[in-house]
């Protein structure tokens, strides 16, 4: 039983004994005692004043005295106005530490076969360019959220929807045909996604040159600047060729489809490499080239049922004015689909593949309206989870000016960013002497763990709803609220445990009671016990930053404890063994918490 539950039961008994009336458990409000006051848990006594018919301080004193006499867990109490601060006995904390020790997965709830199935969509790349900084935040949030939902007893399916069709894909294909000279990832030594991204940029460069040349000609023929540019953009030979290629793709032209498949396969191999380095993955990947036709079919079914309407030009729309929104286009006049149609098609495929109870989309906040509409449409079409779908909306992430340049000079490439972070970790660790005595392979692996840990933690510690600036230099600091500070604390704990083992000190699985603990030691156990509530809150609020900031608070408290108290030099053997057990469990919870965020922790540093 949790300490809070035990005390709640005792308070209910006390109120009945003192004031002769049973009250519901919800009246018992227990919270962590504020740092400036003595105690561990605080009872708010105001709800009981009508029963006691006394002032708040006298009521608190009466309940406190009852608990001290009848509840063995209470060692002392003090009253501040209408708040009863309760001090829990040291033996109770040691008993709690033993329970934490006994459960390797403390705070995590395993899923059983009947658990709700939660599907989480994240990443959503285009096959015409590499993953960028925005994708980094998306992937890290999606992966962490999947871990957190699983830790809350849900079955989780991680999915990705790949935007592998459309005019932007044809632009890369056409540019490769025209300017590529048969270049491949193997012949160029480039990752496939970077190679295709280069041709997307090449298309844009040549297209702009054509538009500029045509604009000048049309202006010379008497058109104003705006009209000349619009006509040039429509007439540019490259764009006309790209549109023709898209028509051929949609008609199933074998040559265009073969080129499309070959180039997409290069991109997927590149994506896989990026995902591996980032430490994220998927249980099922969907492709828009498969889902857009499903979406059209579903929309036409909805049209037949009177859920949607057709305009005079043949386009199909949803009327959402009854929901306080506007009308939403679902199929263009020429019958082609829009993003909304594709999302409906993807939902249809997913619902056929999995018995989904909840669907979470990890997509930037610029799509808030899109998902508001999608939820209404899916509900209208009969998807059980449609009304309650979750749009996990997050803000933009940027870099400080001039910190890092991408290959294209406009977006920050994910591979470049990760590589730069690992290099920075290597340099920083070497300067601080943290890699001394390690083999080249060990040093490289620690630099990878620290560099990527710094990147992930810096992004995940910020509330996802906020826009943020990722500062590489700040993120890799070994002090403060950073990944490396947490990783270094974990490595420090492992070093202490190794030294204890080398000295022949055995830490039993069950620590004997009877040791008088300091407030700092009791506070650390209380923080460890809180991990279960933190995991639950992160899942309820869809908020990985709750885990990140809890972990920082835990290691900050542990480092103060480490500074103030001896561990291996402690003369009292029982106290030494207790402190080693406490350290071991802090390390365990740090590793579990960072694992939920997708961050590794090194055994040495």
- Tell me the pLDDT tens digit for each residue of 303-344: 999 999 999 999 999 999 999 999 999 998 988 888 899 999
Residue found under tokens 């994910």: 414
> What span, in angstroms and rounded, lies between the C-alpha atoms of 37 and 95?
24
pLDDT band for position 42 (cuts 50, 70, 90): very high
Residues 508, 513, 96, 85, CA torsion sign: negative
Domain span at 51: 3-88
In a domain, 27, yes or no: yes
Residue 434 has what pLDDT? 73
Residue 405 has what pLDDT? 45
State the virtual CA torsion across 237, 238, 244, 246 in degrees, nearest 10: -160
* Phi, psi of 273, rounded to the nearest 5 degrees: -65, -40
In a domain, 317, yes or no: no
Extended beta strands in 248-290, E state: 284-287
Any bridge partners for residue 85, and if so which? 42, 78
In a domain, 14, yes or no: yes
In a domain, 433, yes or no: no
Spatial CB neighbours of 554, under 8 Å, sequence gap ≥ 6: 524, 527, 528, 586, 589, 590, 593
Answer yes or no: is pLDDT of 76 > 80: yes
Residue 408 has what pLDDT? 46
> What span, in angstroms and rounded, lies between the C-alpha atoms of 374 and 258?
33
Residue 473 has what pLDDT? 87
Spatial CB neighbours of 246, under 8 Å, sequence gap ≥ 6: 166, 167, 170
Residue 83 DSSP class:
E
Answer yes or no: is pLDDT of 406 > 70: no
Q: What is the mean pLDDT of residues 475-490?
A: 94
> What span, in angstroms and rounded, lies between the C-alpha atoms of 569 and 284?
53
> What span, in angstroms and rounded, lies between the C-alpha atoms of 9 and 18?
14
Answer yes or no: is pLDDT of 506 > 70: yes
Answer yes or no: is pLDDT of 404 > 80: no
Residue 283 DSSP class:
S
- The number of CA neighbours under 13 Å toward the Cβ of 317 is 15
Q: Residues of the chain with pLDDT > 90: what percent?
A: 90
> What span, in angstroms and rounded, lies between the C-alpha atoms of 495 and 476?
21
Pair 600, 453: CB distance under 8 Å: yes
Pair 544, 148: CB distance under 8 Å: yes
Spatial CB neighbours of 408, under 8 Å, sequence gap ≥ 6: 197, 201
Q: What is the mean pLDDT of residues 114-119?
A: 97
Q: What is the mean pLDDT of residues 38-62?
A: 95
- What does 307-344 look like in DSSP terms, one character per residue? SSEE-TTS-EEEE-GGGTS-EEEEE-TTS-B-HHHHHH
pLDDT band for position 132 (cuts 50, 70, 90): very high
Q: What is the mean pLDDT of residues 53-71?
A: 95
Q: Residues of the chain with pLDDT > 70: what percent?
A: 98
Q: What is the mean pLDDT of residues 286-306?
A: 93
Q: What is the mean pLDDT of residues 362-383?
A: 95
Residue found under tokens 């989780």: 156
> What span, in angstroms and rounded, lies between the C-alpha atoms of 256 and 249?
6
Q: Sort strands 74-80 and 83-88 into parallel, antiparallel or unpaired.
A: antiparallel
> What span, in angstroms and rounded, lies between the C-alpha atoms of 273 and 260?
20
In a domain, 447, yes or no: no
Three-class secondary structure of residue 550 per DSSP: helix
Count of domains in the chain? Answer: 1
Pair 109, 153: CB distance under 8 Å: yes
Residue 52 has what pLDDT? 94
In a domain, 55, yes or no: yes
Q: What is the mean pLDDT of residues 401-418?
A: 68
Q: What is the mean pLDDT of residues 440-446?
A: 92
pLDDT band for position 403 (cuts 50, 70, 90): very low
> What span, in angstroms and rounded, lies between the C-alpha atoms of 585 and 528?
8
DSSP H or E segment with residue 361: strand 358-364
pLDDT band for position 73 (cuts 50, 70, 90): very high
> What span, in angstroms and rounded, lies between the C-alpha atoms of 537 and 543?
8
Choose the weakest-confidence range: 204-208, 476-480, 557-561, 564-568. 476-480
In a domain, 399, yes or no: no
Residue 409 has what pLDDT? 52
363: left (phi over 0), alpha (psi -120 to 50) or beta: beta
Pair 316, 309: CB distance under 8 Å: yes
In a domain, 67, yes or no: yes
Any bridge partners for residue 327, and if so which? 319
Q: What is the mean pLDDT of residues 194-215?
A: 95
Global pTM reads: 0.92
CATH number of domain containing 83 = 3.30.1360.70
Pair 279, 271: CB distance under 8 Å: no
CA distances from residue 404 to 91, 132, 411, 413, 539 in whole angstroms, order as listed: 54, 12, 10, 9, 34
Residue among 571, 599, 594, 587 at smallest CA distance from 104 = 587
Average pLDDT, the chain: 94
């Amino acid at each position: 039983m949790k300490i809070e539950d035990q005390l709640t039961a005792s308070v209910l008994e006390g109120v009945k004994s003192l004031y002769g009336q049973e009250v519901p458990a919800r009246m018992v409000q227990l919270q962590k005692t504020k740092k400036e006051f003595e105690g561990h848990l605080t009872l708010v006594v105001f709800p009981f004043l009508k029963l006691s018919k006394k002032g708040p301080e006298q009521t608190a004193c009466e309940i406190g005295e009852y608990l001290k006499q009848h509840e063995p867990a209470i060692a002392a109490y003090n009253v501040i106005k209408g708040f009863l601060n309760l001090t829990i006995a040291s033996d109770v904390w040691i008993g709690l530490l033993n329970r934490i020790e006994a459960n390797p997965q403390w705070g995590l709830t395993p899923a059983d076969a009947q658990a709700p199935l939660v599907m989480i969509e994240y990443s959503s790349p285009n096959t015409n360019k590499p993953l960028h900084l925005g994708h980094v935040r998306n992937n890290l949030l999606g992966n962490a959220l999947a871990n957190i939902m699983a830790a809350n007893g849900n079955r989780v399916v991680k999915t990705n929807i790949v935007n592998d069709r459309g005019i932007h894909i044809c632009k890369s294909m056409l540019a490769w045909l025209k300017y590529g000279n048969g270049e491949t990832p193997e012949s160029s030594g480039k990752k496939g996604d970077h190679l295709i991204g280069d041709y997307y940029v090449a298309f844009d460069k040549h297209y702009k040159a054509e538009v500029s040349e045509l604009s000048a000609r049309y202006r010379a023929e008497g058109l104003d600047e705006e009209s000349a540019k619009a006509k040039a953009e429509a007439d540019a030979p490259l764009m006309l060729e790209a549109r023709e290629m898209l028509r051929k793709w949609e008609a199933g032209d074998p040559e265009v489809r073969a080129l499309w498949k070959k180039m997409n396969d290069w991109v997927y191999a590149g994506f896989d490499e990026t995902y591996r380095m980032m430490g994220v993955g998927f249980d099922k990947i969907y492709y828009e080239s498969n889902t857009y036709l499903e979406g059209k079919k579903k929309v036409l079914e909805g049209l037949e049922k009177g859920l949607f309407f057709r305009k005079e030009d043949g386009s199909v729309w949803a009327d959402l004015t009854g929901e306080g929104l506007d009308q939403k286009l679902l199929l263009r006049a020429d019958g082609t689909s829009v993003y909304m149609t594709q999302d409906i098609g993807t939902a249809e495929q997913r619902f056929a593949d999995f018995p989904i109870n909840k669907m979470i989309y990890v997509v930037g906040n610029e799509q808030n309206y899109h998902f508001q509409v999608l939820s209404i449409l899916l509900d209208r079409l009969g998807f059980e989870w449609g009304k309650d779908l979750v749009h996990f909306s997050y803000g933009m992430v940027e870099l400080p000016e001039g910190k890092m340049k991408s290959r294209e000079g406009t977006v920050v490439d994910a591979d470049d960013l990760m590589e730069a972070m690992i290099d920075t970790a290597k340099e920083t660790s070497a300067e601080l002497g943290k890699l001394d005595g390690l083999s080249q392979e060990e040093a490289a692996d620690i630099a990878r763990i620290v560099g990527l840990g710094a990147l992930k933690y810096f992004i995940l510690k910020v509330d996802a709803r906020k826009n943020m600036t990722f500062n590489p230099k700040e993120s890799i600091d070994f002090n403060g609220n950073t990944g490396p500070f947490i990783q270094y604390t974990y490595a420090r704990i492992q070093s202490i445990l190794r030294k204890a083992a080398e000295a022949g000190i055995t830490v039993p699985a069950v620590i004997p009671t009877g040791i008088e603990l300091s407030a700092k030691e009791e506070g650390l156990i209380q923080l460890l016990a809180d991990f279960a509530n933190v995991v639950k809150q992160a899942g309820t609020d869809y908020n990985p930053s709750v885990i990140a900031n809890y972990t920082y608070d835990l290691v900050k408290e542990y480092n103060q404890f480490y500074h103030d108290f001896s561990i291996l030099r402690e003369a009292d053997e029982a106290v030494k063994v207790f402190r080693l057990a406490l350290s071991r469990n802090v390390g365990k919870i740090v590793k579990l918490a960072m694992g939920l965020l997708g961050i590794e922790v090194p055994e040495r540093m």
